[in-house]
């Protein structure tokens, strides 16, 4: 059984500790800082096997060096990011697999936010650690990749089983939800979710994880086929990737 620990740092960044209770092995996803991770590992007596980086941005890798020095862990990231990941050890590509105990971690390449972005998918556990590719009701900005790349990456994630839990790297949900409502105001599922999100945030609680099913129902970047969204963008019947591109451009200035 896997235990997922969520550490909030830098105001809105989530670091994830994934602990296999049978083998005792632990991985950390996108350590923006080392000390909160080191403190938690020490309190639990957990050894650290892997750092799993989704991409090279500083708020996802700044803890790498200290964690490597303190624990001797292995730093994993996309192969094409080898030159810009601190203390890089292992490069992974599409379809590669890692193991945490007996739990298989499937690697998926998801360019868009950055060119070398990867996500980590625990297929049998229905867990997705997706960095800045997919957010709750949103997606990452296109800092390096193209709209076509990001659209294809999101389609890949959209095709995962509906029950897959989505662990993204930031608490951006409330702002994302406001944008989603602005382009699909008649989506009742979205309206209901925003009420639940508002209650969670009033109590300073996390809105993560979501699920693929929830994202399909509420995330505009998964809903380019929505007639309501198409009408809002004046793109009825347009190519799906063009609708996505228009959504992303509108979100950039929202």
Q: What average pLDDT does the segment 85-89 reach?
A: 97
* pLDDT at residue 229 in the model: 97
The beta-carbon contacts of 67-76 under 8 Å, at least 24 apart in sequence, are 67/28, 67/31, 67/34, 67/37, 67/38, 70/34, 70/38, 71/38, 71/41, 71/47, 73/28, 73/48, 73/49, 74/49, 74/50, 75/50, 75/51, 76/50, 76/51, 76/52
Beta bridge partners of 15: 7
CATH number of the domain located at residue range(s) 2-252 in this protein:
3.60.15.10
pLDDT band at 1 (very low <50, low <70, confident <90, very high): confident
What is this structure's pTM?
Answer: 0.96
Give the contacts of 69 (CB within 8 A, at least 6 positions apart): none
* pLDDT at residue 227 in the model: 97
How does strand 97-100 pair with strand 90-92?
Answer: unpaired
The 10s digit of each residue's pLDDT in 115-143 is: 999 999 999 999 999 999 999 999 999 99
pLDDT band at 176 (very low <50, low <70, confident <90, very high): very high
The 10s digit of each residue's pLDDT in 21-71 is: 999 999 999 999 999 999 999 999 999 999 999 999 999 999 999 999 999
Q: What average pLDDT does the segment 87-116 reach?
A: 97
Burial label for 145, CB within 10 Å (0-12, 13-18, 19+), is: buried
> Which sequence positions are flagged as catalytic?
55, 57, 59-60, 113, 132, 170
The 10s digit of each residue's pLDDT in 185-236 is: 999 999 999 999 999 999 999 999 999 999 999 999 999 999 999 999 999 9
Q: What average pLDDT does the segment 162-178 reach?
A: 97
Kindly list the domain boundaries of the chain, sorted by start residue: 2-252
Q: How far apart are CA 253 and CA 243, in angstroms?
A: 16
């Amino acid at each position: 059984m896997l235990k997922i620990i969520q550490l909030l740092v830098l105001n809105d960044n989530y670091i994830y500790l994934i602990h296999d209770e049978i083998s005792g092995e632990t991985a950390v996803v996108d350590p923006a800082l080392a000390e909160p991770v080191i403190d938690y590992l020490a309190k639990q007596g957990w050894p650290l096997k892997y750092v799993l980086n989704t991409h090279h941005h500083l708020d996802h890798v700044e803890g790498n060096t200290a964690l490597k020095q303190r624990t001797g862990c292995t730093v994993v990231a996309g192969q094409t990011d080898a030159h810009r990941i601190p203390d890089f050890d292992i490069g992974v590509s599409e379809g590669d697999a890692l193991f945490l105990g007996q739990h298989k971690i499937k690697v998926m390449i998801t360019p868009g936010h950055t060119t070398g972005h990867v996500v980590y998918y625990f297929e049998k556990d229905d867990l997705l650690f997706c960095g800045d590719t997919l957010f709750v009701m949103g997606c990452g900005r296109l800092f390096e990749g193209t709209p076509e790349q990001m659209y294809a990456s999101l389609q890949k994630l959209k095709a995962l089983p509906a029950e897959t839990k989505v662990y993204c790297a930031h608490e951006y949900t409330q702002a994302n939800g406001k944008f989603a409502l602005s382009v699909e105001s008649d989506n009742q599922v979205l309206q209901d979710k925003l009420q639940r999100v508002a209650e969670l945030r009033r109590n300073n609680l996390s809105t993560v994880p979501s699920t693929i099913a929830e994202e399909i129902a509420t995330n505009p970047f998964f809903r380019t086929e929505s007639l309501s969204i198409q009408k809002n963008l004046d793109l009825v019947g347009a190519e799906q990737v063009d609708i996505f591109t228009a959504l992303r451009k509108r979100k950039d200035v929202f």
